Amino acid sequence: MIKRRTILTLPALLALAPGARAGVAARMRLVTAHLPPLVLEDDRSRPGALMEMVRELCRRAKLAPETEFVPWRRAVFLATSMPATAIFPLTRLPDREAQFRWLAPLYEEQYGFLAPRRGNFDLSRVAEMKDRRITLLRGAAQAAILAELGYNNLVEAASIDEIHRFLVAGMADAAFGERNIIRASLQSRSAENQFEVGAPLRSTTAWLAGSLDFDEDDVQLFRRAMAAMEADGAKRRILARYGLA
């Protein structure tokens, strides 16, 4: 399913805030994936903390981009191959630094393991589990994090639902992902008692990032909007509505 919003008309572009520049940002589109509770594709009343945050950023910058939901790997591909394309929530890592324009920091991520109870992945001895099969989203930054930690037996999945199926079917021994996404997935399936969640192993920052044709004026447009959201408490209030503050 693809959700679209109206592209800005010329009068709307001329109404940009004083000092703003109608550059690449004025004609950008957004790409993302269904990642509850951060981004929800089918919930209009509660679209996810980061979806609300990005919408508010765009509102303050007087932008109205289209939003397209695609599998995460395709979202990354589009943002690195198509012009005027922004992606969120994208983990900022050294090997990605030169691939994107980093527009605004959104959220501090906490990554760790999820394993079935009575399975063969011991969350109390994760350093000894490096030969186990670990499932994760295809194209996600977790692969680089896991490789750095010494885990190389990876089972990539197209979606959060597929990750869950791999675990239930015994096709993977554990999953590696963002703790709040993991918890939301378990809660949506009433499966909290079937799995255990390990302690966070890595903290990173998720960003709104753009294709390389975004320039410094575009970056500053979003940075100013985010600074204003932090100053007036809007960012904190959005995260609090989802229990993430």
**Which amino acid is residue 49, in one-letter code?**
A
What does each of the 245 residues of the chain score in pLDDT, given as a tens digit? Answer: 333 433 333 333 333 444 444 589 999 999 999 999 999 988 778 899 999 999 999 999 999 999 999 999 999 999 999 999 999 999 998 989 999 999 999 999 999 999 999 899 999 999 999 999 999 999 888 999 999 999 999 999 998 999 999 999 999 999 999 999 998 889 888 988 999 999 999 999 999 999 999 999 999 999 999 999 999 999 999 999 998 87
The CATH classification of domain 109-203, taken from the options 3.30.750.24, 3.40.50.12780, 3.40.50.1100, 3.40.190.10:
3.40.190.10
Domain positions in the chain: 10-108+205-241, 109-203
Exposure string over 163-178, b if 16+ CB within 10 A, otherwise e: bbebbeeeebbbbbbb
- How many Cα atoms occupy the beta-carbon half-sphere of 21 within 13 Å? 10
Containing H/E element for 76?
helix 72-81
CATH superfamily for 10-108+205-241 is: Periplasmic binding protein-like II (3.40.190.10)
Alpha carbons 228 and 57: distance in angstroms, whole number: 9
**pTM of the model as a whole:** 0.80
